[in-house]
């Protein structure tokens, strides 16, 4: 009888572990949405900076973008689990985004102010690193341990 109880307990523990693993895997998928939202903010801000009629509009768009990124950051910090290799993925995404954003801004403000042919492709290009990070994190089923 004691062996039967151990077997039942083991099966119950296995079922509990499988359920927890599924919950953790779903819980780690938040980064894909985070990255898509970041990409959208980047496109909006880049277009506004390049096509805005005044510094007031640029300042307002920058403030709104910073508030949205702040909200995303708070959201990210409150997630109980993170995608596997989250720190490396996020770091690579942000470094690539920063480099592209600076090239688009420096080139655009230097000679293409208000030129749709520069700012629209440039804005879309700034979205590529976070969208790649979103795709990578969405495909990663395993997650890191709870933080």
How many angstroms separate the Cα of 113 from the Cα of each of 9, 47, 60, 98, 106?
69, 11, 18, 20, 10
pLDDT tens per residue across span 65-114: 999 999 999 999 999 888 878 889 999 999 999 999 999 999 999 889 89
* Confidence at residue 145, expressed as pLDDT on a 0 to 100 scale: 47
pLDDT surpassing 70 at residue 131: yes
CA distance 5 to 24: 28
CA distance 21 to 84: 13
* Confidence at residue 81, expressed as pLDDT on a 0 to 100 scale: 81
pLDDT tens per residue across span 9-52: 766 766 555 555 555 455 568 999 999 999 999 999 999 999 99
Q: How far is CA 77 from the centre of its chain?
A: 12
CA distance 33 to 13: 32
* Confidence at residue 83, expressed as pLDDT on a 0 to 100 scale: 82
Residue pointed to by tokens 């950051």 = 73
CA distance 54 to 144: 45
């Amino acid at each position: 009888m004691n062996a039967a109880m151990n077997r039942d307990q083991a099966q119950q523990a296995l079922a509990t572990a499988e359920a927890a693993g599924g919950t953790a895997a779903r819980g780690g998928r938040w980064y894909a949405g985070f990255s898509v939202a970041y990409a959208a903010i980047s496109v909006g801000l880049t277009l506004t900076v390049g096509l805005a009629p005044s510094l007031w509009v640029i300042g307002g768009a920058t403030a709104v973008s910073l508030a949205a990124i702040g909200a995303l950051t708070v959201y990210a910090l409150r997630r109980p689990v993170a995608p596997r290799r989250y720190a490396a993925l996020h770091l690579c995404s942000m470094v690539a985004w920063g480099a592209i954003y600076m090239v688009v801004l420096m080139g655009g403000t230097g000679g293409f102010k208000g030129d749709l042919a520069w700012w629209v492709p440039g804005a879309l290009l700034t979205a590529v690193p976070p969208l790649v990070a979103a795709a990578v994190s969405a495909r990663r089923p395993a997650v890191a341990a709870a933080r």
